[in-house]
């Protein structure tokens, strides 16, 4: 059985039915992957809570809040959440897979025309009005959370994303967004949000004003800089006025945007619905329609990890205790696909083993070549059998001869050797003598078994006498 793939690996199976594809976005608490429902074949986006955030109850609550809020909304201009659950110890959300780009990506190529700003922001204001109707504020409206989705018929549908740090206004206990906590994206925070006060729908209206200002002017109402300077400027200084900037922004649209950026929440529009009605009145006066959407680069889902250009569901990087916005990506990145990975042949384990054995034999052979040749064992030539006198019968009263006395045993009459020729080779004489030794009767050992001085040393004695093979450091060399 093959081991299970890591939860973020390409091809991993989530909850037994969602097959992960490439990663298409990531943020402070989650990473988003293109995926496919294995039963229906429907393309979806799966957002997984990062392991670094999974241990935090607050991060888990924020992660799951998006599913609950969007499930309650069911709005055409809000990204749809299709499923949610736990895969082992990790939470996941299943969202509709969008094609297109974020408003932030579009603004990176330049500001929008006033008619395009109307076509993008009118649907977003409707989504916010529906959100406020269920007593929830978004608290993180920004270009990264506005997605320009390209539908199957080619039409562009703006959608509001990421409800992870939204807040309910019904008085229910909210342990993850208590009053006094600094939560949101600093450049788009309202003054009351920066000061840690209780926020309401008027705070979302301020954020919409910052987005519209940036889309029309190409910059934000407060100068960009260090986090502390941005927060201090929002808390203490008035923003730049769009009406004071040179450009082709109509005066009535500029006044509308400047009103949404009033430092006093009460000086803004009564509601997001009232702001939408005022924006539609300006559009009617200039002949703008919601079909005047900007051109969108409808990118398909990439085959490999891509940049934020297709990050349709990027997780909000919440600002806690005046910390900077961070996109903390888990260490485990996607592995490149086999087509991208350079192929390289690796030696097999058998080749490693053969190489090691050959190398060892070479080393041992080199060492043996440096050792002096051992002298060959001395072979004592036995006397001719004809010159050996016949043995005398031992006397019972005499002491048995010692084993180190080379007294030949009597030969049976049937096997009596014939006299050897003076020219008979020594090897023939040894062969003729071998049967006599095999049939000699055993003698009782009455003394230490010292080898006879005239007999050749045995193999065991030669081994004991030979020096042990040692390496350069004195360690014995063992060859299997």
The per-residue pLDDT for 270 is 97
Could you tell me what percent of the chain has a pLDDT over 70? 57
Tell me how many degrees the CA angle 456-462-466 measures, rounded to the nearest 5: 145
The per-residue pLDDT for 358 is 56
Q: What is the mean pLDDT of residues 155-181?
A: 73
**What is the per-residue pLDDT across 307-360, written as a single tens digit (0 to 9) for each?**
333 333 333 333 333 333 333 323 333 333 333 334 444 445 555 555 666 566
The per-residue pLDDT for 266 is 96
Which CATH superfamily does the domain covering 100-299 fall into? Transferase(Phosphotransferase) domain 1 (1.10.510.10)
**What is the per-residue pLDDT across 53-108, written as a single tens digit (0 to 9) for each?**
777 778 788 888 888 888 888 899 999 889 988 888 888 999 999 999 999 999 99
Between 450 and 207, name the one with better pLDDT. Answer: 207
Taking CA atoms, 478 is separated from 210, 227, 356, 360, 469, in Å, by 80, 70, 15, 10, 9
**What is the per-residue pLDDT across 213-259, written as a single tens digit (0 to 9) for each?**
999 999 999 988 888 999 999 999 999 999 898 778 999 999 999 99
The answer to whether 449 and 371 are in contact (CB under 8 A) is no
**What is the per-residue pLDDT across 118-135, written as a single tens digit (0 to 9) for each?**
999 999 999 999 999 999
Cα–Cα distance between 36 and 46 in angstroms, integer? 9
**What are the phi and psi torsion angles at 299 (to 5°)?**
-85, 135
Burial environment of residue 382 by CB neighbours within 10 A (0 to 12, 13 to 18, 19 or more): middle
Break the chain into its structural domains and give their ranges.
Answer: 100-299
Helices (H), 160-200: 191-194
Q: What is the mean pLDDT of residues 370-376?
A: 53
Between 347 and 163, name the one with better pLDDT. Answer: 163
Q: Which of 126, 87, 113, 104 is nearest to 25 (CA)?
A: 104
CB neighbour list of residue 48: distance below 8 Å, 6 or more residues apart: 7, 8, 14, 30, 31, 32, 33, 87, 90, 91, 92
Q: What is the mean pLDDT of residues 16-21?
A: 95
Q: What is the mean pLDDT of residues 422-433?
A: 51
Residue 3 pLDDT greater than 90, yes or no: no
Place of tokens 């200039």: 286
Cα–Cα distance between 364 and 479 in angstroms, integer? 8
Q: Which of 127-136, 303-312, 390-399, 445-454 has the highest mean pLDDT?
A: 127-136
Tell me how many degrees the CA angle 235-240-245 measures, rounded to the nearest 5: 175
CA dihedral (95, 100, 105, 111) in degrees, to 10, reads -130
Q: Which residues are catalytic?
A: 140
Q: What is the mean pLDDT of residues 394-417?
A: 46
Axis crossing angle, helix 201-217 with helix 272-286, rounded to the nearest 10: 30
Could you tell me what percent of the chain has a pLDDT over 90? 41
Cα–Cα distance between 187 and 143 in angstroms, integer? 11
Q: What is the mean pLDDT of residues 169-188?
A: 66
Cα–Cα distance between 44 and 40 in angstroms, integer? 11
Between 341 and 168, name the one with better pLDDT. Answer: 168
The answer to whether 187 and 230 are in contact (CB under 8 A) is yes
- CB neighbours (10 Å) of residue 259? 15
């Amino acid at each position: 059985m093959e081991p299970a793939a890591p939860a973020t690996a390409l091809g991993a199976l989530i909850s037994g039915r969602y097959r992960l594809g490439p990663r298409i976005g990531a943020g402070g608490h989650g990473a988003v992957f293109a995926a496919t429902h294995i039963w229906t074949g429907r393309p979806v986006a799966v957002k997984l809570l990062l392991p670094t955030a999974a241990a935090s109850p607050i991060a888990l609550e924020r992660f799951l809040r998006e599913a609950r809020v969007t499930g309650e909304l069911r709005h055409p201009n809000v990204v749809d959440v299709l499923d949610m659950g736990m895969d082992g110890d990790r939470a996941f959300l299943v969202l509709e897979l969008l094609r297109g780009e974020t408003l932030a990506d579009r603004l990176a190529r330049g500001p929008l025309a006033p008619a395009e700003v109307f076509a993008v922001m009118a649907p977003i204001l409707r989504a916010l009005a529906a959100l406020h109707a269920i007593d929830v504020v978004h608290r993180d409206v920004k270009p990264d959370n506005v997605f320009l989705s390209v539908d199957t018929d080619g039409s562009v549908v703006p959608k509001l994303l990421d409800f992870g740090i939204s807040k309910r206004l019904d008085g229910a206990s909210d342990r993850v967004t208590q009053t006094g906590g600094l939560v949101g994206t600093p450049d788009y925070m309202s003054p009351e949000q920066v000061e840690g006060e209780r926020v309401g729908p008027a705070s979302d209206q301020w954020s919409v004003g910052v987005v519209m200002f940036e889309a029309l002017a190409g910059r934000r109402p407060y100068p960009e800089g260090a986090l502390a300077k941005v927060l201090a400027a929002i808390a203490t200084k008035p923003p730049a006025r769009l009406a004071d900037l040179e450009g082709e922004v109509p005066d009535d649209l500029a006044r509308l945007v400047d009103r949404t950026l009033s430092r006093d929440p009460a000086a803004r529009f009564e509601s997001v619905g009232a702001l939408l009605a005022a924006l539609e009145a300006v559009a009617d006066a200039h002949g703008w329609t919601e079909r005047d959407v900007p051109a969108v680069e409808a990118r398909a889902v990439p085959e490999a990890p891509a940049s934020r250009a297709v990050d349709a569901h990027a997780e909000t990087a919440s600002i806690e205790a005046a910390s900077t916005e961070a996109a903390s990506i888990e260490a485990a990145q996607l592995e490149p696909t086999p087509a991208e990975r350079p192929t390289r042949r690796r030696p097999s384990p058998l080749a490693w083993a053969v190489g090691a054995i050959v190398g060892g034999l070479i080393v041992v052979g080199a060492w043996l070549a440096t050792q002096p040749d051992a002298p060959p064992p001395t072979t004592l030539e036995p006397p001719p059998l004809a010159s050996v006198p016949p043995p005398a019968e031992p006397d019972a009263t005499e002491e048995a001869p010692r084993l180190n006395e080379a007294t030949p045993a009597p030969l049976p009459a049937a096997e009596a050797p014939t006299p050897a020729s003076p020219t008979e080779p020594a090897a023939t004489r040894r062969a003729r003598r071998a049967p006599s030794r095999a049939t000699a009767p055993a003698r009782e050992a009455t003394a230490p078994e010292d080898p006879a001085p005239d007999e050749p040393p045995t193999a065991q004695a030669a081994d004991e006498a030979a020096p042990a093979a040692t390496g350069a450091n004195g360690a014995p060399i063992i060859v299997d």
